[in-house]
């Protein structure tokens, strides 16, 4: 019998664990490049459902990370003009790209209802999480 977890089930578990364990992580999800299109598609996530299941490259914090290949830490979302609001309760966001063989294939996106909660420790931690995910894909 095949009782191995699928990739999506594993990603869902990671989202659930992070959201349940870290008090400032209120919404945790993965976006991935959608085939050969210049857009991101929402994968597994934990938190409020979002309308933004497809995000064009360049749009919002997520779309900017898809083209910059760099972490994007937003202490105050209201100070960003290229920002896509998913919920009015969100105060801050962090997006860390996910690399497989040096290619930016997606990202982990975390929203917080707490203002300015993210530190370099979060960046290093989420880079580690993404490296583990990359090794499993």
Question: Can you give the binding site for ligand SME, defined by CB under 6 A?
Answer: 27, 29, 50, 52, 55, 60-63, 83-84, 86, 93, 109, 111
Residue (61 or 96) nearer to ligand SME, CB: 61
Residue (5 or 37) nearer to ligand SME, CB: 37
Residue (29 or 44) nearer to ligand SME, CB: 29
Name the minimum Å distance from CB 31 to ligand SME: 8
Q: How many CA within 13 A on the CB side of residue 128?
A: 7
Phi-psi category of residue 101: left, alpha or beta, with phi > 0 → left and psi -120 to 50 → alpha: left
Q: Could you tell me which of 80, 59, 78 has the C-alpha nearest to residue 68? A: 59
| Closest residue to ligand SME using C-beta atoms | 60
Give the position of tokens 């370099």: 120
125/137 Cα distance (integer angstroms) = 19
């Amino acid at each position: 019998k095949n009782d191995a977890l699928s990739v999506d089930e594993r990603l869902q578990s990671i989202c659930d664990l992070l959201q349940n364990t870290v008090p400032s992580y209120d919404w945790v999800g993965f976006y991935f490049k959608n085939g050969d299109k210049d857009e991101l598609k929402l994968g597994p996530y934990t938190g409020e459902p979002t309308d933004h299941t497809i995000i064009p490259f360049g749009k919002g914090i997520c779309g900017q990370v898809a083209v910059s290949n760099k972490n994007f830490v937003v202490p105050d979302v209201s100070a960003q003009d290229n920002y896509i609001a998913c919920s009015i309760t969100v105060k801050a966001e962090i997006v860390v790209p996910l690399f497989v063989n040096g290619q930016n294939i997606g990202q982990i996106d975390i929203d917080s209802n707490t203002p300015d909660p993210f530190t370099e420790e979060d960046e290093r931690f989420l880079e580690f999480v993404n490296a583990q995910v990359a090794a499993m894909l």
